[in-house]
Chain A
Amino acid sequence: MTGPASLEILRTRSGACRAVRDFFFSRDFIEVDTPVRIPSPAPEEHIEAEPAGDWFLRTSPELQMKRLLAAGAERVFQLGPCFRRDESGPMHNPEFTMLEWYRANADYLDILADTKSLVAAVATAITGRTTVSRHGRVIELMPCWEIITVRDAFLEWAGWDPLRDQDPDRFDMDLVCKVEPRIAERDHPVILKDYPVHGAALARCRQDDPPCAERWELYIAGIELANAFSELTDASEQRRRFETATAARTARGMAEYPPDADFLEDLDRGRMPRAGGIALGMDRLVMLLAAAPDVASVRGFV
């Protein structure tokens, strides 16, 4: 592991943050600051929050940003710190910088259009080009993004259908060992889309046969950069999904989080509009643009 970042990389990082803000301001988004210390993180099967007194440090600002949509905001973005316990590796730091944005009256494909424009705009602002180089390869960020469904990717490279056979454990292993290495060979960004419902506790479910979660992940040079949803707005479905995730956490001996009553009340009262949202790892984006080896080397302190 390397780092901390050189002054030159900190300048790149600052420029990237500025380009992100310019991008969203020009599209009539408002920048928001939601609390970093919260009582009720969303229960996710494989994400553990860092305790902070009786509360927790946020693992994502998702629930609070959705509450702003419920309060009438139509376009919100936030760039700020998030914390995930025991996540440390070349692509992980226990404290990291997340970019999230949400659009009311939109879905995950509207968010995809935003993402394409954003990545190109930030790359142009930083490097003057719409390409990034990684390990001697040039990745063209414009105009072609390849969209592959999770089902097709797994049928092609892992030999099974993860929508029909719900097997979260095998899914993770084959994603890492069989699917992601193939995605990493592409010299353009790849969108992996329409995931099994497990593991996407806040995504809207599409009632196809079999059903899938309206969720996509962006990969550039094999690095997973962002996760987007059509947001789940159905209160009883959301409660069920939280309960399933909580049961899985309890079975694994993970901490129990009190439910976020305010968020659920917004859903109960029908205040939350149809929406699309996304979380993008800002450190990873800067790492790609700066051709840095890992996320630690684009952070000022390690």
Chain B
Amino acid sequence: MYNASDLRKGLKVEIDGVPYAITEFTFVKPGKGQALYTCRLKNMINGSTFMKTYRAADRIDQPVLEEKTLQYSYNDGHGYVFLDQDFEQVTITSDVMGDSRHFLVEDATVRVLFHNGNPIEITMPTFIEKEVVHTEPGARGDTATNVMKPARVAGGYELPVPLFVNQGDIIRIDTRTGGYVDRVKR
């Protein structure tokens, strides 16, 4: 259990069995009144946020959270299968994977946050490399750097790339933004 005085930005708490992260925190004290702690809480499962105010005497549940490093193995049609360090299989649904699913490559190492044993949040490596499986050839001589064209990488994810990128190139993608970073090799 946490006391209200333990609350701070970044702390993770549990309300009615759901884990929340405190994204904003303010000490408030109305004139002649008691100290209150106003928090913006982000639901760690569905991302929704709400405001909640705690009194000094309130107690707040502490969530059981565990972070594990997993290695991606394959997609079995129902979900994404990973192996933990003991080579136990962990299946993560595409709901939980969210946009991260586009950036999985075989043997990729990801960090997964578990709440009461259930995976709730995936942290991908910041940069991953993917092969371009389809893009139109760039027009010869067009060297403007800010002109982009659509490309599809292995696994089906589509993103804008510079004109000089060709089919078969390996490109680096920033998993936080989903954007093109650079070309690794032709």
| A-B interaction | yes
| A224 and chain B: residue at smallest CB distance | B31
CB A150 to nearest CB in B, in angstroms, measures 11
How many Å from the CB of B40 to the closest CB on chain A?
Answer: 13
Residues 25-39 of chain B, each 1 if its beta carbon lies under 8 Å from chain A, else 0: 011111111111010
Q: How many A residues face the partner with a CB closer than 8 A?
A: 25
| Bound CA span A44–B28, Å | 17
Q: Interface code B41-62, partner A: CB below 8 Å = 1, 0 otherwise?
A: 0000000000101010000000
With A88-B27, A92-B27, A176-B38 given, is the CB distance from A171 to B33 under 8 Å?
A: yes
Query: Does the CB pair B53–A200 fall under 8 Å?
Result: no
Q: Which of B33, B35, B38, B51 contacts A175 (CB 8 A)?
A: B33
Contacts of A171 in B (CB 8 A): 33
Q: Is A46 an interface residue (CB 8 A)?
A: yes
Quick check: is A173 within 8 A (CB to CB) of the other chain? yes
Q: Contact check, B31 vs A217: say whether CB atoms are below 8 A apart.
A: yes
Total count of chain B residues near the partner, CB < 8 A: 15
Distance between Cα atoms of A23 and B50 in the complex (Å):
45
A18 shortest CB reach to chain B, Å = 27
Q: Which of A46, A171, A217 has the most CB of B within 10 A?
A: A46
Please indicate the chain B residues that have their CB under 8 angstroms from the CB of A199 in the complex. 32-33
Asked if A173 and B36 make an inter-chain contact with CB atoms under 8 angstroms apart, the answer reads: yes
Name B33's closest neighbour in chain A (CB-CB). Answer: A172
Interface contact B29-A87, CB-CB below 8 Å: yes
Chain A residues with CB below 8 A from B31, complex form: 217, 224, 227
A125 on the B face (CB < 8 A): no
Residues of A within 8 A of B30 (CB): 172, 175-176, 180, 224
Asked whether A106 is an interface residue with its Cβ less than 8 Å from the other chain, the reply is no
Q: How far is the CA of A86 from the CA of B3 in the complex (A)?
A: 15
Which of chain A's residues 8-56 have a Cβ closer than 8 Å to chain B? 44-47
With contacts A90-B26, A91-B28 taken as known, whether A176 is within 8 angstroms of B35 at the C-beta atoms is no
B:7-29 near A, CB below 8 Å: 26-29
Determine the distance from Cα of A211 to Cα of B96 in the docked complex, in whole angstroms: 57
A176: chain B residues at CB < 8 Å are 28, 30, 33, 36, 38, 53
Residues from 76 to 94 in A contacting B, C-beta threshold 8 Å: 86-92
Q: Give Cα A84 to B38, complex, Å.
A: 20
Residues of A within 8 A of B28 (CB): 89, 91, 176
Closest to B38 in A: A176
- In the assembled complex, 14 residue pairs joining A and B whose CB atoms fall closer than 8 Å, in A order, are A46-B29, A46-B32, A87-B29, A92-B27, A92-B29, A168-B34, A172-B33, A173-B53, A173-B55, A175-B33, A176-B38, A176-B53, A217-B31, A224-B31
Given A90-B26, A199-B33, A224-B31, 15 further pairs, Cβ under 8 A: A46-B29, A46-B32, A46-B33, A88-B27, A89-B27, A89-B29, A92-B27, A168-B33, A172-B33, A172-B34, A172-B36, A173-B36, A173-B53, A176-B30, A177-B53
Closest 3 CB pairs of A and B: A89-B27, A172-B33, A199-B32
